[in-house]
């Protein structure tokens, strides 16, 4: 992979919560921005102003804090031409589901495992946690960048659904300041829709 997508490892999530390795603040900022969505070059461009070079990501990989994502998209892309006779609508639905699955399960799953009460959570609660975790990290990465540093730390430290839901207003305030009312309200509407769709048992 020339420019892979990176995600935090379990050790990376643990480092955000505990600061056990006492990372340099620049490397910590880069680690926070890794969300299983963005490619290495994109992430490095975000922190270029801090004087970080291309070896910064390699340092995080070497310490076992991040890892490249095994991308399933190329495999799916190869499979589609092999079945040209099938309807384009069905192929599009399949691709959409694959993208959704990649974006919502692998990137978020590590965040749920440290919860000491994990075994008591239902499958619905775990799935809901993953959806919200992913939503927050994606929004912070795309719209706030380094300005969302503190908020991302809170997302990483959240251990359950109420803790994630409680970050609604801080996210709203940060988006208002960084992007203005139109963008902030649009994103909050999306967040509220996700929250309303959560199974009652997962709230």
Which of 35, 37, 53, 55 minimizes the C-alpha distance to 45? 53
Q: Based on the domain organization, do 96 and 150 belong to the same domain?
A: no
- Confidence band, pLDDT 50/70/90 cuts, at residue 200: low
Q: What is the mean pLDDT of the chain?
A: 74
Size (the chain), residues = 203
Assess whether 20 and 48 both reside in one domain: yes
- The pTM score is 0.53
Q: Are residues 58 and 126 in the same domain?
A: no
In a domain, 139, yes or no: yes
Per-residue pLDDT at 101: 35
Question: Each residue of 161-179: pLDDT tens digit?
Answer: 888 899 999 999 999 999 8
Beta strands in the chain (DSSP E): 6-8, 66-68
- Tell me, yes or no, whether 124 and 189 share the same domain: yes
Percent of the chain with pLDDT over 70: 71
Q: Is residue 128 part of a domain?
A: yes
d(CA 74, CA 71): 7
Does 140 fall in a domain? Answer: yes
Contact 171, 136 (CB under 8 A): yes
The three state secondary structure string of 81-129 is CCCCCCCHHHHHHHHHHHHHHHHHCCCCHHHHCCCCCHHHCCHHHHHHH
Q: How many Å apart are CA 180 and CA 192, to the nearest integer?
A: 18
Residue 1 falls inside a structural domain: no
User: Is 121's pLDDT higher than 80?
Assistant: no
Domain that holds residue 19: 6-68
Domain membership of residue 59 (yes or no) is yes
State percent of the chain over pLDDT 90: 15
Q: Both 99 and 115 in a single domain?
A: no
Q: Please give the residue that has the higher pLDDT: either 79 or 26.
A: 26
**Residue 137 confidence (pLDDT):** 84
- Count of structural domains, the chain: 3
Residue at token pair 């709230």: 203
pLDDT of residue 188: 92
């Amino acid at each position: 992979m020339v420019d892979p997508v990176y995600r935090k490892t379990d050790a990376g999530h643990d480092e955000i919560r505990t600061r056990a390795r006492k990372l340099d603040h620049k490397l910590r900022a880069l680690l926070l921005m890794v969300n299983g969505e963005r490619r290495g070059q994109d992430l490095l461009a975000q922190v270029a102003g801090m004087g970080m070079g291309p070896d910064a990501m390699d340092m995080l990989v070497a310490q076992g804090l991040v890892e490249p994502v095994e991308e399933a998209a190329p495999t799916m892309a190869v499979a589609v031409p092999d079945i040209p006779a099938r309807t384009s609508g069905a192929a599009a639905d399949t691709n959409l589901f694959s993208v959704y699955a990649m974006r919502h399960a692998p990137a978020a799953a590590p965040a749920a495992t440290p919860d000491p009460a994990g075994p008591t959570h239902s499958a619905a609660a775990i799935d809901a946690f993953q959806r919200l975790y992913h939503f927050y990290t994606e929004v912070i990465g795309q719209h706030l960048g380094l300005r969302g540093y503190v908020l991302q730390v809170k997302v990483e430290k959240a251990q359950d659904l109420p803790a994630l839901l409680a970050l609604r207003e801080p996210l709203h305030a940060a988006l208002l300041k960084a992007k203005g009312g139109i963008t902030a309200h649009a994103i909050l509407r999306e967040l509220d829709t996700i929250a309303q769709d959560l199974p009652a048992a997962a709230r």
